[in-house]
Structure 1
């Protein structure tokens, strides 16, 4: 369940506490914790509702001016059910603290590097983790589609890869694109200082 940056800001301020989605089946359930750019957003009650039950007040609570605007913005589809979803900010994203943690010993850095190595091995694409970190480090705040093209990777796959690195606190999302976190920069310096690594532009520029 994704939100725009404007909607996330409104959730953080308390202006928005509802969301409406058309789904074949509910994508979230009550109590689901969503990690977002503003922190953890927890899902409240998830209820199937007819369009006729949506009011202008509901629309405003979901970040729209009117009921008509809200309904027009929803995904169309007669085979989909409309759901009313409660949302609220409940805490900081634990990855935020992880991103800032640079008090790492060589052994701890080696442990993270080993985890990335296992991800590389399971991916069947060679050392994609370091290549992706290199690319984001060299090109912060660049659209994901443009970064993906530099690695000859499709955009959804590239975004999924970046999310895996984010789980280790190595990258963070921006309004457009990404950047390395302090932890990610430290790890990349550790990796590129190793024997046999040659400095190069991962984008081929």
Structure 2
């Protein structure tokens, strides 16, 4: 569920606490937490709503300039109108993760395992360290320029970078990407010649 940035800012400030959408079936449910540009937005409730029950106050609480504008938005799509209560639920946990560059042996070993799993699941071979190195060498570079450097199409390349972002290793910029502090520490340790892997535990 896309929410305009201006409305997100009002959710953070507490001036907006409702959202309305027309869907064939609900795309979120109570308890859903969405990652947005301002952190997490939580959906507290989801219920169908009759358009004739909506008021100017509902429109204002949803960040719409008027009831007419809200009704026009809801009737311009096929499906059932839904009313959702929403609230700001704090920072995206990935933000704190990206800043955490104190990688001890346990954290480094876990990262190595997760990157190895991504590599093993790939149809185009090991890619994680190559992409991390590429972003380190070419920060703030458009994905359309980066993807051919590793022999990838743009959209699959972007999907791979999102997987690294989930691990707290990359950050999206207005144009392109950069390594997070965690990503820089991980790359320094994991690429050839970096920190050695911790020894495997002995079998009992």
What TM-score do the two structures reach when normalised by structure 2?
A: 0.76
Structure with bigger gyration radius: 2
Mapping 1:74-93, distance limit 5 Å:
76-78=76-78, 80-93=79-92
8 Å CA contact 2:74, 2:81 repeated in 1: no
> Structure 1 CA distance, aligned partners of 2:135 and 2:181?
13
Distance of aligned partners of 1:47 and 1:125 in 2 relative to their CA distance in 1, 3 Å threshold: same
Structure 2 equivalent of residue 199 of structure 1 = none
Report the Cα offset of residue 185 of structure 1. 1.6
User: Residue 6 of structure 2 corresponds to which residue in structure 1?
Assistant: 6
- The CA deviation at 1:158 is 4.2
Q: Distance in 2 between matches of 1:176 and 1:130?
A: 21
Listed as ranges, the matches of 1:115-194 within 5 Å are 115-141=114-140, 152-155=152-155, 157-175=156-174, 177-194=176-193
Q: Would the alpha carbon gap of residues 126 and 180 (structure 1) be closer, same or farther in structure 2, given more than 3 Å must change?
A: same
Residues 55, 144 of structure 1: alpha-carbon distance in 2 compared, 3 angstrom cutoff: farther
- What is aligned with 1:16? 16
Unmatched tracts of structure 2, length 5 or more: 195-204
Further displaced range: 3-12 or 96-105:
3-12
- Alpha-carbon distance in 2 for matches of 1:59, 1:140: 42
Give the distance between the partners of 1:145 and 1:116, measured in 2 at CA. 23
Equivalent-residue separation in structure 2 for 1:92 and 1:168 (angstroms): 16
- Corresponding residue number in structure 2 for 1:94: 93
Is there any run of 5+ residues in structure 1 with no aligned partner, and where?
A: 196-205
Report the count of equivalent residues.
193
Change (3 A) 1:165 1:108: same
